[in-house]
Amino acid sequence: MKFLITGASGQLGRGWQRNLEGQTTNEFIALNRQELDICNPKSIRKVFTEYKPDVCINTAAYTHVDKAEKEYDQAYKGNVLGPQLLAEACAHRGIQLVHYSTDYVFSGKLSDRDIYNDGYPEEAPTDPVNQYGASKLAGEKAVVSALPSALIVRVSWLSGIEGNNFVKAIINRANSLGKLSVVNDQYGVPCFVPDIVDQSLFLIQNKHVGIYHLGSKGCISWYDFAEKIIEYSNLNVPIEVVESSRFPTQAKRPHFSKLSTSKLEATGIAIHSWEIGCKTLVSELIKA
């Protein structure tokens, strides 16, 4: 298969490249925003005509959660218009589209933790609490409208070897500050780039379409996550437990972000615990 990866500079885009570089049965091209502007129909047409991909992996997105409160036009452009144009082009040329979305499409109410003990299922009612989540939900709907056979995958608490993420931030702050303050009233489950790519590939190869939640097993707080990162890093750093109100943000954050992977597991793929992904990533970061 020939893969086209958008958003090549992001942690997920780079994770896809790492995976496909080690394969002999697939080929790929990975393009950043300067090389492929997904909001420009001419740019999409040029790349699709020249490369003729079988699958388009859209990891490009507007991801500034707080800035989206004031920059909704930009968020809409990156998270709705761009994916819609890609979906229309894929529909016209018979290309499979994989589009990444987020747990932020849900309300994230703490009370939902009791209602959805296993995490939000794909069919749970959506109700984003900030503009970023609203733009991602609108993007999902735009993609499905243009290309009903698209594969839309939602992820949460994503971390990888590249880019900015919670794991790297905790290690850096622990080393530079010698102490940490981490919230203990927001719950979810971390997911890791290599797992997300592997799970996505499995769905592609087995011709699954529609919405799927990807990720790891478990449900923890950010404090629990930080504690394990410190443990795996062999650091001796005190962690203060604080409430999220201690760190006010422009955009409201969900208190419950766990996505149920039951639908994914029903396909036959094995899903491991978040601790395994965390330990592997920390080990790679220490070696880097």
pLDDT tens for the chain, 288 residues long, are 999 999 999 999 999 999 999 788 889 999 999 999 999 999 999 999 999 999 999 999 999 999 999 999 999 999 999 999 999 999 999 999 999 999 999 999 999 999 999 999 999 999 999 999 999 999 999 999 999 999 999 999 999 999 899 999 999 999 999 999 999 999 999 999 999 999 999 999 999 999 999 999 999 999 999 999 999 999 999 999 999 999 899 999 999 999 999 999 999 999 999 999 999 999 999 987
62, 76, 132, 212: which is the annotated catalytic residue?
132
What is residue 25's predicted lDDT score, i.e. its pLDDT?
87
What is residue 22's predicted lDDT score, i.e. its pLDDT?
79
Asked, for residue 51, whether it belongs to a domain, the answer is: yes
Asked, for residue 224, whether it belongs to a domain, the answer is: no
Among 162, 223, 163, smallest CA distance to 188 is for 223
Asked, for residue 241, whether it belongs to a domain, the answer is: no
Amino acid in position 63: T
Burial label, 60 (beta-carbon count in 10 A; 0-12, 13-18, 19+): buried
Asked, for residue 130, whether it belongs to a domain, the answer is: yes
Asked, for residue 213, whether it belongs to a domain, the answer is: yes
How many helices (H) and strands (E) in the chain?
11, 12
Q: Which two three-digit tokens encode residue 24?
A: 């002999």
Q: Which residue matches tokens 């298969």?
A: 1
Asked, for residue 279, whether it belongs to a domain, the answer is: no
Distance CA 68, CA 74 (A): 8
Number of separate domains in the chain: 1
Asked, for residue 20, whether it belongs to a domain, the answer is: yes
Q: Are 101 and 57 in contact (CB under 8 A)?
A: no
**Domain CATH for 122:** 3.40.50.720
What is residue 147's predicted lDDT score, i.e. its pLDDT?
98
Strand partners, 167: none
What is residue 73's predicted lDDT score, i.e. its pLDDT?
97
Q: Which two three-digit tokens encode residue 240?
A: 């203060």
Asked, for residue 26, whether it belongs to a domain, the answer is: yes
Q: Which two three-digit tokens encode residue 174?
A: 């622990």
Cα–Cα distances (Å) from 225 to 45, 184, 231, in that order, read: 43, 10, 10
* Residue 132 bears catalytic tag: yes
Distance CA 164, CA 162 (A): 7
What is the domain range of residue 19? 2-165+190-218+258-272
Q: Are 147 and 91 in contact (CB under 8 A)?
A: yes
Q: What are phi and psi of 56, to 5 degrees?
A: -110, 120
Burial label, 117 (beta-carbon count in 10 A; 0-12, 13-18, 19+): exposed
